[in-house]
Amino acid sequence: VNQISENLSNIVSKTTTNLSEWLQGIVDKGWQTIDSLYKPELNLAFSTRNIHQNTKRTKIIDLGINLDNHKVALLIGISPDNDGNQNKISVVAQLRPMNGDIFLPYDIKLILISKAGKVLQEVTSRIEDNCIQLNTFKGERGKNFSIKVSLGDSSITEKFEL
């Protein structure tokens, strides 16, 4: 029984989201435009230089009872590297509250993990954070990484390829 409950509280996506395909307008299931979930003002709040509208997407993350049934949204924005290197992609990742909540749950974590499993960045929400964001990072096309959202003993990990 313990094995089953552990599997339920630590979910790892079975599919890998190919972010470079977003630049061609190809988006995996489960990812939506920011405007489809939020008011247009959020899109302005999430605006970053050189990130085109079609390369900003969001996915609802539900950690179940640990969030008292509150949901959060993982927002990902990508752009070709503005240094002129077409093989590199810049990525920004944010976590925002959903369903009319103003603040994120206290102590929720947004974690960037390398393909080898090394933690590269980690951000933790404080008492009244309405958003947490990883530092913008760059990588070569084809590079794999994961982003983990965790609260207490529960986590959801999304896998990506640039």
pLDDT digits (tens, 9 = 90+) for 65-83: 555 566 888 999 888 877 6
Backbone CA torsion sign across 57, 63, 69, 70: negative
Does residue 1 register a pLDDT over 50? Answer: no
Residue-level pLDDT at 143 = 96
**Cβ neighbours of residue 70 under 8 Å, at least 6 residues apart?**
97, 98, 99, 101, 105
